[in-house]
Amino acid sequence: MSPSFFPWLHRSLLAGTALLLAPLGCVTSTQSAERDEAVLRMDSPPRVKPKWGLVIHGGAGVISRENLSPEREAAMRAVLTQALQAGHAVLAKGGKSLDAVTAAIHVLEDSPYFNAGKGAVFNHDGVNELDAAIMDGKTRAAGAVAGVRHIQNPIDLARLVMEKSPHVMMVGDGAEAFAQSQGMPLVDAKYFYTEERWQGLQRALEQERAKAAPPATPAAPPATPDQQPPATPGTQAAPPATPGTPAVPPTTPGTPATPPTKPGTPAAPPTTPATPPTTPGTQATPPAKPGTQAAAPLTPGVDPITGDHKFGTVGAVALDQEGNLAAGTSTGGMTNKRYGRVGDAPIIGAGTYADERCAVSATGHGEFFIRYTVARDICARVEYQDLPLPEAANVVIHDVLVKAGGEGGVIAMDREGHVAMPFNSSGMYRGYIGEDGTPTVAIFQQP
């Protein structure tokens, strides 16, 4: 390997561009390009021993240096590095790509810094609901779970669905009942509580209330003496208002006036953290009754730790020594999500996909990734248009999604070891590790 290879990779990672990591070998660049083109254009490519490696992400969005302290950034980089090393340890021993993906996502799910597992955000009812999916590129077997509340590592349950059931996706109570039938314990919902995520929910609720509140009706200007209508006989004329004092509507008798909340002041959290019930399927707070004030439109929340606009998801794709690909994704969804909302992460073909040519894990505004089947679209362009993986990923993220108004990114890998990690936001937590075991991690679009 050229000594300049990994510095070049590091610069490319920091730039946030799609990468073309040529397979290693004793061939010239021209020979390598010709071989790559030939392999991509053959229906049944020859079995060659490809380069192997692992790519991960921890979410994309508006991620700025100003809102990420050096200490927090260092801690998050350390977790990303640990995840890369965990997956690499599996691959280096000849392990399966599925096992490497699972090992890497475990580390990210166990960290409070990322929106998955332990670090999952709260929904509107103050409950953590988690989604995950995993897919085997060799067989196209897949498993997914959505809306689970008591599973410590949802990626493990997604894999159980794939390997121990005839189904692809399970949700909510049924998924947790299946987990118990397979010997997987349920954890108390308090396991997922973090103060940062709770405060993030409080801010989101306050913003929602502010958006839903009807605008105040301006007071009518006082009438001039010539315009003032005569008082009804027997009634006391109201004294004129002091100049500059707004008119105050009378309160209903017996009802004290409530002082308004100061703008920008979040609702105070309870003295005791809201703990979702441990019984699967129950809610911490009952839904609003019909006829109540409609909530403001749902939008991706602000990261409660950094204050940035971030789409919280974690994912991994891997290529093992046998040339098999796998992809996995795990998430806590959107802060303040409602009505059982499920994003793209557990949807095969949208947020997670792998076949014998390509593996993709996505992060971004899930509704767009679902509607445009982003993960599958990238692999389909590789399969049917003979596009190199980086080009296919770039087209979908920087052209298709941007035109649709979608924001986010992907990590992807093909069977020859080429890697792509494009994103159309200002940042994406991401990393790569190859055969030599050197992890490379990046966050921002620019160095």
The enclosing H or E element of 88 equals helix 70-92
Measured in whole angstroms, the distance separating CA 283 from the mean position of its chain's CA atoms is 23
Q: Which of 313, 335, 373, 440 is catalytic?
A: 313
In whole angstroms, what is the distance from residue 447 CA to residue 442 CA? Answer: 9
| Binding residue ranges for substrate | 341-344, 363-366
Residue with tokens 């008591």: 150
C-alpha to C-alpha distance for 434 and 111, rounded to whole angstroms: 23
- Structural contact between residues 363 and 409, judged by C-beta atoms closer than 8 angstroms: yes
Residues 6+ apart with CB under 8 A from 9: 19, 21, 432, 440
C-beta neighbour count of 447 within 10 angstroms: 9
Helix, strand, coil percent content, the chain, rounded in steps of 5:
30, 15, 50
Give the gyration radius of the chain's Cα atoms: 27
Token look-up 């996706």 returns 169
412 - beta bridge partners? 360, 420
Tokens of 385: 């248009």
Could you list the residues known to form a binding site, using ranges: 341-344, 363-366
The DSSP output letter for 236 is P
**Catalytic site includes residue 278:** no
Question: How buried is residue 301: exposed, middle or buried, by Cβ count under 10 Å (0-12/13-18/19+)?
Answer: buried
Q: In what order do the strands lie in the sheet with 419-420?
A: 352-354, 358-364, 408-414, 419-420
Instruction: Give CA–CA dist 204/265, Å, rounded.
Output: 12
Q: Is 254 exposed, middle or buried (0-12, 13-18, 19+ CB in 10 A)?
A: exposed
The dihedral formed by the CA atoms of 62, 64, 68 and 70, expressed in degrees to the nearest 10:
140
Angle at 347 between CA 397 and CA 433, to 5 degrees: 60
**For residue 324, how many other CB atoms are within 10 A of its CB?**
21
**CA 55 to each of CA 212, 326, 379: distance values in angstroms, whole numbers, following the listed order:** 41, 11, 16
Q: Which residues are catalytic?
A: 313
